[in-house]
Amino acid sequence: MSGWRRAVIIQIGPRWSEGAKNRNLGFLTSVNICWQLAGQGSGAGSGTEDWTIDPANFTCLAIETATDLPSIALLRGDVLAVREARGMQAPSRAVFQWVQELLAETGTSLSELDCIAFGAGPGSFTGVRVAVALAQGLGYATGLPLCPVSTLAALAAGAMRDSVADAAACCLDARLGEVYFGAYRRDPEQGVVALADDILLKPEDVSLPDTGAFLAVGAGWGTYPEITARLESRILGYATDCLPSAADVARLARPRFRHGSLVSSAAARPNYLRERVASRRDAD
């Protein structure tokens, strides 16, 4: 059915009270994004899509907004285009605009994508919601599968790409006296492989798997120096200023796509780790 247009309305972020905004607990009020597509086929998410690809021509749009370095990336084969902005406080509108601009600049249409990858968290509640909601909206509009990638996995992959380390211990400040923690090892096929599930911990409960030395990655190591002091003998180096990037989400999506680690738009979920707080905020 050529020429028909499909509009998808995405609710990005909760409706925060004025008091909450004043306390910097939230800054998105009600951001509605309308994505219009022409000629993208017959229904989205019908479950009948062909998700096989030629790996050499794998084309993926990736979104990572869980930290204060929101970014998007377009990976086509081995060619990567990235948009990012450090310190952005309200990424939803900008990220949507980046998607439009990056597709236009690279001459890529949504129909050419093999999948949409997103950083699923953990991280900023609002930031994680932005990535998931935008990926879901694009997935519903196109029928494309989604590839969720752990934000900590992307962080580990980026840090180890510039290091000789074979394992990374990722630690991000989760506020409220807790950290998001994940341990990963380098893998020639998957990029990185988790040594355990990502977890929310008190700093005093952080421990390293018994698999050798680790690169300490993420700002949590600096925020809670007591972790470093206790585990210093197992640390071979530090990358505490490293932040996750959509570029690494895209790179990790390629082997995951090949192995079928995909979800439909309806099944996409954020990985908040702190579910009780997340549920309360989503209800606001």
Nearest by Cα to 155 from 85, 90, 261, 246: 246
The count of structural domains within the chain is 2
Percent of the chain with pLDDT over 90: 71
Q: Report the range of poorest mean pLDDT among 4-18, 103-117, 204-218, 270-284.
A: 4-18
Cα torsion through 23, 25, 27, 29, rounded to 10: -100
Q: Are residues 88 and 9 in the same domain?
A: yes
Residue 184 and residue 70 share a domain: no
Specify whether 194 is located in the same domain as 254: no
pLDDT digits (tens, 9 = 90+) for 169-219: 999 999 999 999 999 999 999 999 999 999 999 999 999 999 899 999 999
User: Quick one: 182 and 84 in the same domain?
Assistant: no
pLDDT of residue 92: 79
Is residue 10 very low, low, confident or very high in pLDDT (cuts 50, 70, 90)? Answer: very low
Domain shared by 137 and 34, yes or no: yes
pLDDT digits 0-9 by tens, 24-70: 323 232 233 434 432 333 333 333 344 555 667 899 999 999 999 99
Query: Residue 87 has what pLDDT?
Result: 77
Contact in structure between 77 and 56 (CB atoms under 8 Å): yes
CA 37 to chain centre: 24
Examine the domain organization and report whether 253 and 114 are in the same domain. Answer: yes
CATH of the domain at 180: 3.30.420.40
Cis omega (within 30 of 0) for bond into 55 = no
Q: Write down the mean pLDDT value for the chain.
A: 82
* 124 and 229 assigned to the same domain: no
Per-residue pLDDT tens over the stretch 238-248? 999 999 999 99
Q: What is the pLDDT of residue 91?
A: 66
Q: Which domain holds residue 45?
A: 5-151+244-283
Q: Can you name the residues that pair with 102 across neighbouring β-strands?
A: none
Give the model's confidence band at 94: pLDDT under 50 very low, under 70 low, under 90 confident, else very high.
confident
Domain identity same for 268 and 203: no
Same domain, 74 and 98: yes
The predicted structure's pLDDT at residue 189: 95
Q: What's the pLDDT score for residue 93?
A: 80
pTM of the model: 0.82
State the pLDDT confidence band at 119, using cuts at 50, 70 and 90: very high
**Position 119: which residue type?**
G
- The per-residue b/e assignment along 197-236, b for 16 or more CB within 10 angstroms, e otherwise, is ebbbbebeebebeeeeebbbbbbbbebbeebbeebeebbe
Look at residue 237 and tell me whether its pLDDT is greater than 50.
yes
Same domain, yes or no: 157 and 262: no
Residues 135 and 171 in one domain: no
CB–CB of 141/131 below 8 Å?
Answer: no
Same domain, 126 and 201: no
